[in-house]
Amino acid sequence: MGTLSGKNIVKKYGKDTVLKNVNIDIETGKIYGLIGRNGAGKTTLLSILTAQNPATEGTVTLDGQPVWENEEALSHICYSREIPQVTMFGPNSMKVKDYLKTAKVFYKYWDEAYAKELVALFNLNPKKRVSKLSKGMLSSLTIIIALASKADITILDEPVAGLDVVAREQFYKLVIDEYAQTGRTFIISTHIIEEAASLFEKVIIIDDGQIVLQENTEELLSRAYRVSGEDTLVDKATDGFKVYHPESIGRNKVVTVLADEPVADFGDDVQVEPVALQNLFYAMCVDDRKGA
Amino acid sequence: MKSLARRSAEHYFIQGIKIFGLVMGLQVILAFEFFLMGAEMTDMLGYIVQNVVAFTGMFMILFNTIYAIYGPNWLDSVVLSMGARRKDVFWGQIIQQLTFITGCVIVSLAICFIFDRKMLVGFTFLAAAASILAGVIGTVIGYKIKKFGKIVMMIIIMIMACLGGVVGAMAAVGKQIHISALNNGLSLTVIGVGTIIVFILLELWAYKLNSKCMVN
Amino acid sequence: MIQNLGEDKSIYLQISEMIEDEILRDILREEEQVPSTTELSKFYKINPATAAKGINLLVDKGIIYKKRGIGMFVCEGAKSKIQETRKTSFYENYVKKIISEAKLIGIDKAELKKMIDDTKEL
**Which ipTM score applies to this complex?**
0.83
Contact of chains C and A by CB distance (3 or more pairs under 8 angstroms): yes
What is the C-alpha to C-alpha distance for residues B123 and B120, in angstroms, rounded to an integer?
5
CB B123 within 8 A of CB B175: no
Residue B181: per-residue pLDDT? 52
Q: Which of A229, A274, A279 lies closest to A249 in space, CA to CA?
A: A229
Minimum CA–CA partner of A198 in chain C: C46
Residue by residue, what is the 3-state secondary structure of chain C?
Answer: CCCCCCCCCCHHHHHHHHHHHHHHCCCCCCCCEECCHHHHHHHHCCCHHHHHHHHHHHHHCCCEEEECCCEEEECCCHHHHHHHHHHHHHHHHHHHHHHHHHHHHCCCHHHHHHHHHHCCCC
122 residues of chain C, pLDDT tens digit each? 445 777 778 899 999 999 999 999 999 999 899 999 999 998 888 999 999 999 999 999 999 999 998 999 999 999 999 999 999 989 888 898 899 899 989 999 999 999 989 988 88
User: Could you tell me which of A185, A76, A98, A152 has the C-alpha nearest to residue B4?
Assistant: A76
Rounded to whole angstroms, the Cα distance separating A153 from B186 reads 58
Whole domain around residue C66: which residue ranges?
11-76
Q: Tell me, what DSSP letter sits at residue A218?
A: H
Cβ atoms within 10 Å, residue C40: 22
* Neighboring chains of C (3 or more beta-carbon pairs < 8 A): A
**Residues C49, C30 within the same domain:** yes
What pLDDT does residue B197 have? 81
Residue C88 lies in a domain: yes
Q: What pLDDT was estimated at residue B134?
A: 85
CATH number of the domain to which C25 belongs: 1.10.10.10
Asked whether the beta carbons of A67 and A54 are under 8 A apart, the reply is no
Please check whether residues C34 and C16 belong to one and the same domain.
yes
Domain assignment present for C50 = yes
**Domain residue extents for chain B:** 4-211
pLDDT digits (tens, 9 = 90+) for A124-133: 999 999 989 9
**Length, in residues, of chain C:** 122
Q: What is the pLDDT of residue C121?
A: 84
**Residues present in chain B in total:** 216
Q: Dump pLDDT digits (tens) for A34-67.
A: 999 998 999 999 999 999 989 999 999 999 999 9
Q: Is position C61 within any domain?
A: yes
In whole angstroms, give the CA distance from residue C27 to residue C20. 10
Closest CB from A199, A200, A274 relative to C8: A274
Q: What's the confidence (pLDDT) of residue A79?
A: 94
List own/partner pairs for A16-23 with CB under 8 A and 24 or more apart.
Answer: A17/A209, A18/A44, A18/A209, A19/A44, A19/A45, A19/A48, A19/A55, A19/A209, A19/A210, A20/A208, A20/A209, A20/A210, A21/A58, A21/A210, A22/A58, A22/A206, A22/A209, A22/A210, A22/A211, A23/A211
Residue A218, chain C, CB below 8 Å: the answer is yes
A91 in contact with B, Cβ within 8 Å: no
Residue A40, CA atoms < 13 Å, CB-side half-sphere:
22
Domains: count for chain C: 2
Q: Are C99 and C42 in a shared domain?
A: no
Measured between CB atoms, does A84 come within 8 Å of chain B? yes
Upper half-sphere CA count for residue A113 (Cβ side, 13 Å): 0
Regions of chain B where pLDDT drops below 50: 176-177
Can you name the residues that pair with A203 across neighbouring β-strands?
Answer: A33, A215
Taking only the tens place, the pLDDT of each residue in B115-166 is 777 777 878 888 888 888 888 888 888 888 877 777 777 777 777 777 666 6
Chain A residue closest in CA terms to B84: A106
Q: What pLDDT is stored for residue B180 in this prediction?
A: 53
**C3 within some domain:** no
C17 and C66 inside one domain? yes
Domains of chain A by residue range: 4-216, 222-285
Closest chain A residue to C36 measured between Cα atoms?
A: A180
In this structure, the answer to whether residues C23 and C66 fall within a common structural domain is yes
Decide if B7 and A105 are in contact by the 8 Å CB cutoff: yes
Domain assignment of residue C35, yes or no: yes
User: Which A residues in the span 60-99 are in contact with C, Cβ-Cβ below 8 Å?
Assistant: none
Helix axes C11-24, C48-60, angle to 10 degrees: 50
CA angle B134-B140-B146, nearest 5°?
130
User: How far apart, in whole angstroms, are the C-alpha atoms of residue A52 and residue B79?
Assistant: 11
Fold exhibited by the domain A4-216 = Rossmann fold (3.40.50)
How large is the C-alpha radius of gyration of chain B? 19
Residue C48: its chain A contacts at CB < 8 A? 176, 179-180
Strand A224-230 with A185-189, pairing? unpaired
Residue C1 inside a domain? The answer is no
Inter-residue contact A95 to A127 (CB < 8 Å): yes
From start to end of chain A, where are the E strands? Answer: 4-13, 16-26, 31-36, 57-62, 65-66, 77-80, 86-87, 90-91, 153-157, 185-189, 202-207, 210-216, 224-230, 242-249, 252-258, 271-274
Beta bridge partners of A32: A187, A202
B182-187 long-range contacts, CB within 8 A, separation 24+: B182/B122, B182/B123, B182/B126, B183/B119, B183/B122, B185/B122
Q: Does A31 touch chain C (CB under 8 A)?
A: yes
**Ramachandran angles phi, psi of A32, nearest 5°:** -105, 145
Residue A156's beta-bridge partner residues? A80, A188
Stretches where chain A sits below pLDDT 70 are 88-89, 288-292
